[in-house]
Amino acid sequence: MLVVLKRAAGVAVGLAALGGVARAEEASTIGDAITGGELIFELRPRYEHVDQTGIADADALTNRTRLGWKTGTYHGFTGLIELEDVRAIVDDYNDGIPPAEPFATIGDPETTELNRLQLAWRANAHFTATLGRQNVQFDDQRFIDGSNSRQDARTLDALRADVTFGDLKGSYLYVDQVNNTADDFTDLDTESHLLNVTNKFDDAFSLTGFIYAFDFTTPTAINQSSEFMGVRASGKVEAMDTEFSYALSYANQQDYGSSLVDFNLDYGMANLTATHGQWSGRLQYETLEGDGVRGLFFPIGSNTSFHGWAGAFSTKPANGLNDFNASVTYSPGWDAPLIGDLAFTARWYEFEAERTGVDLGEELDFEIAGDLTDKLGLLIRSGDYRRGDAGSPVERRRFWVELTYKL
């Protein structure tokens, strides 16, 4: 399989030799490209509260600052540098870094780091390469996620090649290091390969195939080494003044590379969304197989966006997990300053063990999200998880409110 990945990467690089196209206006010198760039500046203050059975409540008031510069283009090359700083004003929480504080966990440790440092080259309309520390997301972020939900975002030290021919798009990455969301403490050395190819046939049908081969060489993470091979279909149609959209996904996860344990687990997901005017409703079912020893897991996939905002299932159960959820979103589109872009969402979850069928509880979530101005965004979320039968996670409630200001 690794040979296939390397050949695919070789083909991608070869495409750079194809005929180029006229680029957008470029700087005439490197100096002009640097001085003619744009400032990156972001502030994100957040208050978060966790009430969890068996441990003291946690409260965190944190702020994330990002400062950087993106250059203009010179002979197809563009550079970017971005620093990230996270400070805690109120720190009554366990940030996940030893020694543990006697509070529930909120995974936002204080840190100052180089968040992104990358050099991109656009050879022509068909081929782009990016080298360095970068944010990477694919599809619904289930398997590959930039994890912007925490204050310290996940980035990858990687070489990336992107190929586009009409409705066919492909991406390949060789990943040297995963920079996780808890400062340097959880960063992982890796020799991983990611391949994602999508063809959009029409609005009603897009098909994606992917291979994500994770080989972690950090001693504490070698048994997370695994390979996903999967497919995803998605699309949308219009009928009766309503837009219907869907997504279907299947993947198989097996041990890979440095892993010292054997496993073979399946993943499946299906959802259907209907949008009519200001209202949208979604039904979704997701299943993660478990063999009784370990459950299917996502080494660098999204956890926050799945299984509820309370975070009860950030660690996947050994007997797997079935998740049925239903949500409704209302976007009133008020003709008023500040609140005109807000959307309101409610979502209900039912959980059970995939292998045994044991009731693992339920959760009710609410969200208010939108742009208050062209530079200021608001996000309010709450998650209330109630446990089921024996073996369920402990009950917990999580609430947060954040503002994001971007230039």
Residues 74-124 pLDDT 10s: 999 999 999 999 999 999 999 989 899 999 999 999 999 999 999 999 999
Which residue, 126, 97, 92, 123, is CA-closest to 109?
Answer: 97
SS3 percent helix, strand, coil of the chain, rounded to 5, is 5, 55, 35
Is-contact 405 42, C-beta < 8 A? yes
Q: How far is CA 31 from CA 36, 73, 81, 205, in A?
A: 8, 11, 16, 45
d(CA 121, CA 82): 18
Per-residue pLDDT, 184: 67
Q: What is the set of domains in the chain, with CATH numbers?
A: 2-406 (2.40.160.10)
Q: What's the whole-model pTM score? A: 0.91
Is-contact 377 370, C-beta < 8 A? yes
Which residue, 234, 360, 216, 341, is CA-closest to 288?
Answer: 360
Per-residue pLDDT of the chain (407 residues; tens, 9 = 90+): 444 344 444 544 454 444 444 455 799 999 999 999 999 999 999 999 999 999 999 999 999 999 999 999 999 999 999 999 999 999 999 998 989 999 999 999 999 999 999 999 999 999 999 999 999 999 999 999 987 889 999 999 999 999 999 999 999 999 999 998 876 678 999 999 999 999 999 999 999 999 999 999 999 999 999 999 999 999 999 999 999 999 999 999 999 999 999 999 999 999 999 999 999 999 999 999 999 999 999 999 988 889 999 999 998 999 999 999 999 999 999 999 999 999 999 999 999 999 999 999 999 999 999 999 999 999 999 999 999 999 999 999 999 999 999 99
Q: Which two tokens stand for residue 110?
A: 């204080």
- The widest CA-to-CA distance across the chain, in whole angstroms, is 67
d(CA 320, CA 267): 10
Per-residue pLDDT, 278: 98
d(CA 346, CA 277): 17
Per-residue pLDDT, 19: 41
Which residue, 100, 44, 140, is CA-closest to 403?
Answer: 44
Per-residue pLDDT, 24: 54
Per-residue pLDDT, 16: 44
Per-residue pLDDT, 12: 43
